Amino acid sequence: MEIYPAIDVRAGRVVRASRTDPARETPYHPDPIAVAESFAAAGARWVHVVDLERVLGTGEQDALVAALVKRLPIPVQVGGGLWTAEAVGTMRDCGVQRILLGARAIADEAALEELTELFASDSLGVALDMRDGRVWSRDWAGSSAWTPEALAKRAAAAGIGILAVTDLAREGRLEGAAVAEAAALARESGMEVIVSGGVDSLEDLVRIREAGLGGAIVGRALFERRFTVEEALACCSPSS
């Protein structure tokens, strides 16, 4: 099981902001690179980055993402607002090691075919936000017509092996991750599923590990000192 310390960046700062209510924002740190380097120094094997400017359609922070990749000795996973070949190509050119495609790219057969032809499958994953059992997307009104299971199976059939799934009802609330739902997606799709949203304790990480899931994206719990990166890695190691 992998731990993905998460950095959401907006206006060049590390923040916490709800995707469903972006006006609610909590600033955490003025220097994303320093935060990412601290995660790497603590032993993290990946860093997960979300460019909230791209997610919210207010711009992009590609230069910051490129700087992060260049400075870090560990790989970077980026998600949020990435569903076109142009956007994915930009992330590839920035040196991002894993790019999480948005739901819209998976639902669009032509877009999915183009993306899997242009980019190596081991550099791609999928990021799905779900709410009330349906897919949710800020910039795509048709998202609620899809279930996470349907899009996960479509992605798997296209050769994509990684799925990061966020339960928006739990995102940023520190009330526990949606482990059962994520495990069901893993069983039905055959994908390696990474849980995002709501992770609040080391016990929660143990539940994710014991469910056989691929990893956990952790943000607020780290910034609010519920546990450290070192503690998270220790409790999720095979020997623990």
Q: Catalytic residue numbers?
A: 8, 129
Residues 6+ apart with CB under 8 A from 58: none
What Å distances lie between residue 146 and 103, 108, 167, CA to CA? 9, 12, 15
Cα-based distances in Å from 186 to 100, 108, 145: 17, 22, 21
Distances in Å between the Cα of 155 and the Cα atoms of 40, 78, 160, 231 are: 30, 17, 6, 33
Q: Is 142 helix (H, G, I), strand (E, B) or coil?
A: helix
Q: How many residues does the chain have?
A: 240
Q: Report the alpha-carbon distance of residue 46 to residue 25 in Å, rounded.
A: 24
Alpha carbon 97 to its chain centroid, in Å, reads 13
Relative to beta strand 25-29, strand 47-51 is unpaired
Closest Cα partner for 216 from 161, 202, 115? 202
